[in-house]
Amino acid sequence: MAADVHIWWIGADAPDDRLMEAVRARTAAAFGIQSRLYRHPDRPHQAFDPRRGQHWSTAILRWIVARDQPGLRTLAITDADLFIPVLTFVYGEAQLGGRAAVVSTMRLALEQTGRHDTALVTDRIVKECVHELGHTFGLLHCDTPGCVMQRSVNLIEVDAKAVALCGSCEARFRALREKDGHHEQGTHPHPRG
């Protein structure tokens, strides 16, 4: 079956297979789409800013678009800390209505309680992956409490929201998807699966 989203691990360390599988399964469930894991051999070294010691997320998105499969969406996951030039950090970035998204596990994995909580960290990463993918489908930030499309600027806000879209985002997603589907069929007739 053709995949709608490719999920790449582009971190420096080896991927956590259980985490990657959780992201694949739960993003697929959240949007009702097909997701597939893909091990990309390259790394976006040029996105690294030595002055800040962080990776520029927008440069990673450009790097993805130069390598991805047209007609598909690509979600890259990294253990590098991400930034955009005006901000100290971002958890992730996506092209609004585009085809690339990136999420960093680095700050989401930070321990707050003094003990590592794998399930909590996995939840956070999944939420941010669903959130950034939502942007690629054209969804904006949502003010509904608990909706995964709420903007989160700290871990408390990430933890406070669910993995799922709220009713109105769900409806908007379906409408956008319908429009997007027609468009994709016309423009990219041979998606790789």
Partner 1 sequence: MSKERTRILVVDDEEIVRESLSGWLAKDGYTLATAQDGPTALEMLRQARWSILLVDLKMPGMDGLQVLESSKQLQPDVAVVIMTAYATVETAVEAMKAGAYDYLVKPFDPEELSLMMVKIVAQQTLVRENVLLRKVLKRDFHFRDMVSKNPAMHRMFDLAKSAAKSQSTILILGESGTGKELLARAIHAESPRQAAPFVAVSCAALTETLLESELFGHEKGAFTGALARRKGRFELAHGGTLFLDEIGDISPKLQLDLLRVLEERRLVRVGGTEPVDVDVRIIAATNRDLKKAVADGQFREDLFYRLNVIPILLPPLRDRREDVPLLIEHFLERLGVETGRRIEGVSADALAALMRHDWPGNVRELRNVLERGMVVAKDTIVQAEDLGLSAAGIRTEAFDPNLTLDEVERRHITAVLQHTGGNVTQAARTLDIDRVTLYNKIRKYGLRRGDDDGFAGG
Beta bridge mates, 55: 48, 82
Side-by-side strand order, sheet with 73-78: 35-38, 5-9, 73-78, 100-104, 92-94
CB nearer partner 1, residue 31 or residue 134: 134
Angle at 136 between CA 31 and CA 26, to 5 degrees: 30
Catalytic pick among 93, 132, 170, 184: 132
* Interior/surface letters 94-115, b for 16+ CB within 10 angstroms, e for the rest: bbeebbbbbbbbbbbbeeeeee
Interaction between residue 84 and partner 1 (CB under 8 A): yes
CB nearer partner 1, residue 61 or residue 109: 61
Interaction between residue 1 and partner 1 (CB under 8 A): no
**Per-residue contact flags (x/-) with partner 1 for residues 92 to 131, judged by CB under 8 A:** ----x-----------------------------------
CB nearer partner 1, residue 12 or residue 86: 86
- Annotated active-site positions, please? 132
